[in-house]
Structure 1
Amino acid sequence: MDQGIWAGAGSAIASIMFMWAMASQFFPSQLETHIYKYTSKLLRGFYPFIVITFAEYSGERLTRSEAYSAIQAYLGSSAAENSTRFKAEMDRDEKIVLSMDEHEEVTDDFEGVKVWWTSTKTTTESKGFSWYPAPEEKRYYRLTFHRSHRHLIHYSYLQHVIKQGNAIKIQKRRRKLYTNKSRYSQDNYSYTKHEWTHVPFEHPATFDHIAMDPIKKQDLIKDLLTFRESKDYYSRIGKPWKRGYLLFGPPGTGKSTLIAAMANLLDYDVYDLELTAVKDNTKLRKLLIEVTSKSIILIEDIDCSLNLSGKREREHGERKEKKDDGGGEEVDESKVTLSGLLNFIDGLWSASGSERLIVFTTNYVDKLDPALIRRGRMDAHVELSYCTFQGFKVLARNYLGIEDHALFGEIEGLMDKKNITPADVAENLMPKAKGLQGTGNGQVEACLRDLVQALEDCEQVLKGRGTNLVEVR
C-alpha cells in the first residue's frame, strides 16, 4: 500500500478523532482520559507513518525559522528536480527565487529511504486592529516518512537537509549592507516596523587596496581567516563564536576601507549600527537578535556615538539639571547605557548569534572608556596611522600601475619627515586628465609631482608616528 492510500486513511482517522472529541464532552473526565489513551495507541498501530511539521515563523511570528528557510532552499534545488509546480517570487534584490508551490508534494531519497515533502498553507483572519481585517497566511513544510526509519531521519537526514540548505543559501545569497534606521511599510492595511533596512553590499575594496605595513596586513588577514574556521574551538572553550576589532587612527587613514576589505575577504554581511538611533537597551537587544551569522556588526566613531565615558556622563547630568531648571527644551536622546553596550558585546546577549565580528572605529582612542576596549571585548587593536613609504608603494601600484620611479626616493625622504594620510596620498595620485588613468608617462610624472608638492606643503612635522600596529591576543 503506497503513501497516498495511507494519507487518505489518515484523513479518515482524523475525522473520527474530531467526532470523538465532540462526543467526549458528555463523558466523565477520567473515563475520557482512559478511552483517549488506549484509542490513540490502537490508531497508531494502523498508521505506520510519522509527520513532522516545520512552520515558517516562530515566537509569535517575530522571527523567520532558520530551519524553514534552509528546507526551502534545499527543496528548491536538489530534492525538487521532478516537481512540476513552482512558486516564483522576487526578493528585495529583484532576483527571481523558486520554491515549491502550495500543496505540492515532492519525493526525496536518502540512503535508500523514501520520504515525502509537502508545502501547505493555512489562512486565518488577522487579529490585529484594522477597519478591513486582512487574512493571515501561515506556511508550513510537512515531512512524512515510515516510522521504521525514525532514527535515520532524526539523526542523519534532517541534519543533511539543514546543512545542504544552508550551503545553498550562502552560495546564492547576495551580501547586504544593513542600517538600523527604522522605517514603516504598509502591509495588508496595517503598518509593520522593520528593525533593519538594507542595500546590496557592493564595495570593491580588498586587502590589496589597503595602504598599511605588509607584515601587519598579513597578520590581520591570518587572524580573520583563523576566526572563520574556529567554530569547534570556540565551542570547546565555552565562548560565543565572535571577535571584537578596534580600528583607531586619524581621519583619512582607511578605517572604513579596511572594514569593506574584511567583509569581502570573509564574505560577510555588514550591519552598520547607528547607536544614536537606538532608543534604549531593550531596543539594542532586539536589533542584536535579528543580526544573522556571517556578519560584521559595525559601530563607527564610537567616541561620538553615545555619552559613554564618565566625563561625558557628568556633563550629561549637568545639562539635564539645566533643562529641569527651565534652561532649555527636552531633547529625545538615546538611552543606551555603557552597561547595556557591554552586555551587547560580551554579556549573555552576545551569545544570541554566531560567527560575527564586532568592529568599533574611532579617531580618538584615548576618549574611550577602558572597560569598553579591554581584551575579551575588543580582542584585536588595529592602529591605522599616517601613510608610510610602504603604504605609498601600494597606492602607487593601484592608482598608477607602477612599481618604481625616479621620484620615489624624494617621496620617501619627505614621508620620513611629514604627516600625510593615505586618503591625501590617494587624492594626489588620482589622474586628473581624462583618458590618462595611469597609462601615460606624463600623467604618472604629474601625479607624483603633485604628491611631492603636497608633502612639502605639510606644516606638521612628524612626531612619534606609530606604525600600522595590529595587536592580537
Structure 2
Amino acid sequence: MMMMGDTFGTIGSSMASLFFIWATVQQIFPNHLKIAIKEFLLSSFQQLCFAQRVSDYFTNLFSPYVDINFPEIDEYRLNHAFSAIETYLESKATDKSKHLKGSQLKENKGLVLKRDEVKIRDEYKGANVWWEIVTASDEERSYKLTFHHRARSLITDSYVPYVVEEGKLIKAKKQQTRLFTNNPSSQWILSHNMWRSIEFEHPASFETLAMEQEKKEEIMSDLTAFTNGKDYYKKIGKAWKRGYLLYGPPGTGKSTMISAMANFLNYNIYDLELTAIKNNSELRKLLTSTSSKSIVVIEDIDCSVDLTANRTKKERNSIEQDKDESSVTLSGLLNFIDGIWSACGQERIVVFTTNHLEKLDPALIRRGRMDMHIELSYCTYEAFKILAKNYLDLDDHPLFKNIKSLLKEIEISPADVAENLMTRNHIIDVDESLNNLIKALEEKKNSQRSQHDEDKKKSNKFRLFG
C-alpha cells in the first residue's frame, strides 16, 4: 500500500498546480472573464467525475511513480507472468497482513490462510513497490505494479524477473494437477472464463493399470522421451507435442489410462467438450489458452461432432460450413493438432479416445498426428493378476488356473472383472470374490456361445434362401 506521505505529497503537488493556474488567470484575464472562469471552475468541481478527471490529470502530470500492468490474458493466450506474480504474492507472509482469507478445501486438511488485500506492499533492495489487482469493466484482470521512477532500472531489470522466477518455483513445488473443462461460449467474457477447473485427485497409476507389463513400459518410455525432448523437437523442426489414440471396447480402461498418464507426468488435463463449441474460431481460442505441460483430451471423438462423415460429402459442404461457422470442422481440429496453430504452446499431449476406430476419418488418426496408437482390449490373464493384486492383495491362488482358462475363451472388459473382484463392506474374502468372478465368466461364456449359435443359424438360413 502506498505510504501516506507519498499520497499527501501527490495531492499537495496537484493543489499547488491549481493555485498557480488560478494566479495566472487573475493576472491575464479582465474582471468579467475572471468571474466567468471562477464560476465555471466552482460548478465543475462540484461534479465528482470532472473533479476526478482533473485530479487524475494533474496527479499523473506531476507524480514521480511509474506503473506496469500485467494482464491475465494477452492476445487470446494466458499470460504466464500473471500466474507467477499471483503465486509469488500469495506466498508472502500473512503475519503482517490485516485482511486474510481462510479456506479448507479438503475435510482432512488444515485451514489455509491467504492474503485478501487489493494492494500489497513489497520491498526489494531498498526500493518500495506496491502491487494491486485491477479488474476492468470487461472483467479482464491484471496486476498493476507501482514504483518510484528512481528505481526504474532496478525494478524492470532485476525485481520483475525475480518475482516471475520465484513464482514459477513456488508453483512447481506445490503443483497440484488440475482437471479443466470448457465453459459454453455464452459464459465467456472476452478471453476470460473459458475454462473452469478442480483439483485432479484420481489415484490411477501405471503400476495399478490392468495391462500387460511390456505395453505399460513402452508407453511410460515414450512419455519420458517426450518430456525430455525439447531440444530434439527443436532440432527436427517440429512442434513439441505428441498425439495418443486410445481405442477399444467400453470398460477397457481408456479414461484410467489418461489419469495414469497425467499422474505420471504431473500434467494438467483439459477435457475438451466439442459439442459446447460453436465454430473453429472458438476452438482455436480455447486451445491456445491451454497451458504447457498439459494433456488435451477429446473422449469418444466419434460421438463428439460430425468428424466421421463421408469425406466427399464434407468437402462439398466445407465452403458453406466455413461461411456460417455453425460447427467445428475436421479441418479446424486438424489445424490445431498438426497445422500452424499446433506450435502455439509447448510440451502438450493430445489424446483421442474411441470405441469405434473404424468410424474415424483416416486423416484424423494418421501417424504424425496421433503418433502412438494404443489398443485397450479385453482382459487378459496378466491384466487379471494386476487386478487381483489391487483388489485382493493376492499374488497367486489355486483358482487362478480356472480363471486363466476361462479368460482365453471369452471376451470380458477389465471393468467387469474388477466389479466382480470388489470386496463387499471392505472385508476381503478371497475365495468368495474369485468364485464370484468364475461364476460371472462362466455365465458370459454360455451367453457368448448361445449368441454364436444363433448367429450361425441366421447365417445358414440366409444361405438357404439366397
* Same fold per superposition (TM over 0.5): yes
Correspondence 1:88 to 2:101: yes
Change (3 A) 1:357 1:139: closer
For 1:51-66, what aligned pairs fall within 5 Å after superposition? 51=66, 53-59=68-74, 65-66=79-80
Shift of 1:345: 0.9
Between Structure 1 and Structure 2, which shows a larger proportion of strand residues? 1
Q: Distance in 1 between matches of 2:12 and 2:135?
A: 22
Pairs aligned (count): 402
The code of the aligned residue for 1:88 comes to K
Q: Distance in 1 between matches of 2:15 and 2:234?
A: 48
SS at match of 2:310: helix
Shift of 1:392: 0.9
Q: Which residue of 2 aligns with 1:119?
A: 131
Correspondence 1:142 to 2:157: no
Q: Which residue of 2 aligns with 1:360?
A: 352
Q: What TM-score do you get using the length of structure 2 for normalisation?
A: 0.71
Correspondence 1:75 to 2:89: yes
Q: Distance in 2 between matches of 1:274 and 1:209?
A: 28
Shift of 1:57: 3.9
SS at match of 2:207: helix
- 1:384 is aligned, of 357, 366, 376, to 376
The code of the aligned residue for 1:457 comes to N
The code of the aligned residue for 1:384 comes to L
Cα pair 1:342 1:372 within 8 Å, conserved = yes
For 1:102-251, what aligned pairs fall within 5 Å after superposition? 102-108=118-124, 113-120=125-132, 126=137, 140-142=143-145, 144=147, 150=153, 154=156, 157-172=159-174, 174-182=176-184, 194-251=193-250
Correspondence 1:434 to 2:425: yes
Larger mean CA deviation between 250-259 and 349-358 belongs to 349-358
Percent identity of equivalent pairs: 43
Shift of 1:397: 0.8
Q: Distance in 2 between matches of 1:337 and 1:17?
A: 62
Between Structure 1 and Structure 2, which shows a larger proportion of helix residues? 2
Correspondence 1:419 to 2:411: yes
5+ residue gaps, structure 1, are 24-46, 129-135, 322-331, 462-473
Q: Which residue of 1 aligns with 2:342?
A: 350
5+ residue gaps, structure 2, are 25-62, 451-466
The code of the aligned residue for 1:391 comes to A
Correspondence 1:446 to 2:435: yes
Change (3 A) 1:166 1:434: same
Cα pair 2:244 2:374 within 8 Å, conserved = yes
The code of the aligned residue for 2:364 comes to L
Deviation string, structure 1 residues 252-282 (Cα, Å, up to 9, x no partner): 2111111111112222222221222221101
Larger mean CA deviation between 226-235 and 244-253 belongs to 226-235
SS at match of 2:406: helix
Cα pair 2:210 2:414 within 8 Å, conserved = yes
Change (3 A) 1:139 1:87: farther
Cα pair 1:185 1:191 within 8 Å, conserved = no
Change (3 A) 1:91 1:81: closer
Cα pair 1:177 1:271 within 8 Å, conserved = yes
Larger mean CA deviation between 219-228 and 450-459 belongs to 450-459
Q: Distance in 2 between matches of 1:137 and 1:194?
A: 10
Larger mean CA deviation between 229-238 and 378-387 belongs to 229-238
SS at match of 1:291: coil
Cα pair 1:271 1:291 within 8 Å, conserved = yes
Deviation string, structure 1 residues 3-29 (Cα, Å, up to 9, x no partner): 9989988888899999999x9xxxxxx
Shift of 1:387: 1.5
Shift of 1:434: 3.5
Shift of 1:292: 2.3
Larger-Rg structure: 2
Q: Distance in 2 between matches of 1:276 and 1:365?
A: 20
Deviation string, structure 1 residues 31-75 (Cα, Å, up to 9, x no partner): xxxxxxxxxxxxxxxx9x984513344549x66643123112213
SS at match of 2:307: coil
Q: What TM-score do you get using the length of structure 1 for normalisation?
A: 0.70
Change (3 A) 1:335 1:403: same
Shift of 1:157: 4.5
Cα pair 1:101 1:119 within 8 Å, conserved = no
